[in-house]
Structure 1
Amino acid sequence: MAFIIILIAVGLVLMLAEILLIPGVGVAGILGLISLGGSCFYAFHEFGPETGTIVTVVNVVLLVALTVYVLRAKTWKKLALNTNIDSKIQFFDENTLAVGDTGKTITRLAPMGTAKIGENSYEVKSLEGIIDPGTEVEIVMIEDNRIYVKPVEKDF
């Protein structure tokens, strides 16, 4: 009888892991179902139909209880990310920026990052790979509300 209880416990733990930790129809879920099914089979085979039926009913009740517990709103609230995104989409007047304007990168462009052009900071995209912070950049193209830059070549 202890073996049946162990199979049920292992099956429930694997099902819980499948639902909460590694979602999808994966190995843990399949092994959990095999473990629960094995407990039913073992109970029927070793202890007869009465015990097998009881174990099957217990498995179904425990699976339903586990499903209800997992699907409750409070369970998901503990797992969900509840931060609000307060960033804004960058809109700018294309008349204030022009191809050839220069500025300095604030963050690393890999290839996206932030650069200060004039008095404002803009999200820009590098056309020439990674650009380190503090590098002088030049606007090469403005297209679809995106600003494309490249490092300014310094004459020595």
Structure 2
Amino acid sequence: MKNFDLKHLIAAALIAAAYAVITIIFAPISYGPMQVRISEALTVLPYITPVAIPGLFVGCIISNIFGGYGIHDVVFGSLATLVAAYLTYKMPKRILAPLPPVIINGLVIGWMLHFLLNVPLFSTIMYVAVGEFIACYALGYPLLLILERFRSAGF
């Protein structure tokens, strides 16, 4: 992004705050081997604007500080979100926009939880990926459609 000005910084900060607040409010289902992190619906935002990439990354860092899995989650979970957000930004078609968080978080978070909690790897990857699919496609994709409609209307 060429010109990251105050307006972009504020937008990124608002996305970070929204991600963190939603994750923490829904903490019982936001963390663990079986999770549906509602805030992951916001991971479609990089498809619309690259400003969302740092916002999601910072929001995830804040959320993972409160998650109880320590530095592993803060580092690996947040980096997974950063990579997924960048890949979402690069997606060629709208229907594919929610896919990077499903795949990246399924693999990275699934592996991390397997390592930290000594739970079966494949099932943990699948549980996380299914939770991501619910958040990203059932919640995030409709959000993306609504935001695109607003954008095309001039908002």
TM-score range, shorter chain: 0.3 to 0.5
Greater RCO, CA 8 A, separation 6+ = 2
Q: TM-score, normalised by structure 2?
A: 0.33
Tell me which structure has the larger Cα radius of gyration.
1
